[in-house]
Amino acid sequence: MCALLNGRSIDSTMGFTALDGLPMGTRCGQIDPGVLLYLMAEKGMSPDAVQKFLYSECGLKGLSGISNDVRDLQSSREPGAILAIDHFVHRIGLHAGMLAAALGGLDAFVFTAGIGERSSTMRARIAEKLVWLGVELNAAANDSGQTVISPKGSRVMLCVLPTNEELMIAQHSLALLSAAAGQDRRRSA
């Protein structure tokens, strides 16, 4: 999650790496550093094994014991699946509060990427956690896939915005390569 003010990021749930913050499909999310010490000292895991574990075997996959795919977890009644989804929603609520504090309040909360774009159920559960921030959900707009899913006059606008991360990476890479090529031409002239 990212707190944006006037189009600029002022805070994020990520830390030094993407392991911090929210649990992801296979990444652990925020974790007590003592866990790392325990895994190495008590379980005999090497630093490489701990790294592989935290990036590939944790998060929703590790909590559920089933899958890293929210669709699979939402359709399952297995206790691990329920735990994983509940934990994910809980952590989003906590981090939303942190980011709202960094901003001094919220004008809008934007759902994006795979889960945010595609799961009306997850959006509804998350919006329920954010009511204390002034969030209101228009259930019909949410269920019908509209872009604005808050009612008119809501203190905090709720939006669903599709992303294309690969396109953005490609555009930024092209701009960087074009700028570098321009510098090479100026040096050779």
17's enclosing H/E stretch is none
Nearest to 28 by CA among 63, 78, 71: 63
pLDDT over 90 percentage in the chain:
71
* Opening angle at CA 164, ends 30 and 53, nearest 5: 30
**Confidence at residue 180, expressed as pLDDT on a 0 to 100 scale:** 82
Pairwise CA distance, residues 182 & 184, whole Å: 5
CB atoms within 10 A of CB 76: 16
Q: How many helices (H) and strands (E) does the chain have?
A: 9, 4
Pairwise CA distance, residues 71 & 55, whole Å: 20
pLDDT band at 116 (very low <50, low <70, confident <90, very high): confident
Q: Is the pTM of this model over 0.85?
A: no
Residue-wise pLDDT tens digits, 13-37: 988 888 888 889 889 889 999 999 9
pLDDT over 70 percentage in the chain:
97
Residue-wise pLDDT tens digits, 121-134: 999 999 999 999 99
Type of residue at 10:
I
Nearest to 109 by CA among 138, 165, 150, 146: 150
* Opening angle at CA 64, ends 59 and 69, nearest 5: 70
Round to the nearest angstrom and report the end-to-end CA distance of the chain.
45
**Confidence at residue 125, expressed as pLDDT on a 0 to 100 scale:** 96
Residue with tokens 């652990």: 28
Reduced to 3 states, what is the DSSP secondary structure of residue 131? helix
Q: For 22-164, where are the alpha helices, taking DSSP H only? A: 33-41, 47-56, 59-64, 70-74, 79-103, 113-118, 120-129, 139-143
- Is 90 exceeded by the pLDDT of residue 52? yes
